[in-house]
Amino acid sequence: MALSNPSQLLLRNMDLLDSKSPLLIGCPDAEFVIEFTQTYPQATITSYQVNYAQHLTIEKRCATVKSVFAEQYQTSQQHDLVIFYFPKSKQELVMQMAMLSQCLAEHAIVLFVGENKGGVKSAPKLTKPYALRCDKVDSARHCLLFEMVYNNQREPFDLASWYQQYEIVLDDKTLTVCALPGVFSQAELDRGTQLLLEHLPSSIDGKVLDFGCGAGVIGSYIKLLYPNADVEMIDVNALAIASAKRTLEVNDLTATVYPSDGLSDVGTGYQAVVSNPPFHQGIKTHYQTTELFLQSVNQKMTSNGVLTIVANSFLKYAPILEQQFGNVQKCANRHGFTIYQVNKR
């Protein structure tokens, strides 16, 4: 598998990675981690991920590396080097830098790498409170690499203070949404999800799956409407999982929330599946996860089970649904979004 451009940029700067206790954050390439371990076998390397799929791959392929998947990285260890793959959300970077200040050694080195179009140019400005200096050290393959020297500024970190909260009101129901930085629709309800909530099946019971739950809006709203439904909510992102759990908690609702790479950790017997499925990853558009979901979700559903999704109208999901389920019903089309509903035969 080809390495991502940021990993290729790091490879040509391997001399900067010489350290005793390095921490990799958000690395998408197990091949790079393997190269890192071979170049510096004496290093105690830790990988921290909020992406469950990347975590599983590194955990499986890099036996000597400690792999952590969580919404918050916590350790008593003092890392002398951090290699930060720039996340898609700048606020996520700011939060994670505040979080990491608790576990950095004196004058630790922090490397920020990412694609130019992904916002990495803002790394010096965003991390200024923690930097003695932050300088560009290399650029190639439309990517930048910055080196920061930590200024030993430590302040208590409270993850709860980073949740953003807002209310949505539909019909006579009010739901409070809580979301961490980087989670889809962190600040307000997006139009696609609102359209989906307005066109849910008229009756829902039994096992229900909210695929790609984000902050938990859809699954929580279903639980609000149908208290007897057995709702499960899944996402690949640890920050989304934590947000969905918080949304349930503040609304006094109960559901099962857990990570899954696509449908990897999902059971069977679902009578209803609902989703505003993801199609963006980083700065590029990716459809593979959703297309695999649409091609295989019928195997997880009961006879006469109902699948309801919302998607941008330009996405060509209808042919996939027709191939898997047969007849596809378009329930609504508004603001560039379409609601598709199908019944398993």
Same domain, 182 and 320: yes
Same domain, 224 and 190: yes
Q: What is the DSSP string of 109-125?
A: EEEEEEEGGGTGGGHHH
pLDDT one-digit tens code per residue, 203-234: 998 999 999 999 999 999 999 999 999 999 99
Same domain, 122 and 248: no
Same domain, 18 and 85: yes
Same domain, 269 and 325: yes
State how many domains the chain has. 2
Q: Which domain holds residue 151?
A: 5-155
Same domain, 216 and 150: no
Q: Which is nearest to 186 in space by CA: 161, 212, 166?
A: 166
Same domain, 219 and 80: no
Same domain, 170 and 59: no
Same domain, 140 and 211: no
Same domain, 70 and 137: yes
Ranges under pLDDT 50 in the chain: 280-285
Same domain, 146 and 179: no
pLDDT of residue 282: 43
Q: What residues form DSSP beta bridges with 114?
A: 144
120-124: long-range pairs with CB below 8 Å, 24+: 120/86, 120/144, 120/146, 122/90, 123/86, 123/93, 123/148, 124/148
Instruction: Point out the domain boundary residue: 129, 155, 181.
Output: 155
Same domain, 148 and 181: no
The CATH number of the domain where 72 resides is what?
3.40.50.150
Instruction: Point out the domain boundary residue: 96, 122, 155.
Output: 155
Instruction: Point out the domain boundary residue: 155, 190, 220.
Output: 155
pTM of the predicted model as reported, rounded to 2 decimal places: 0.95
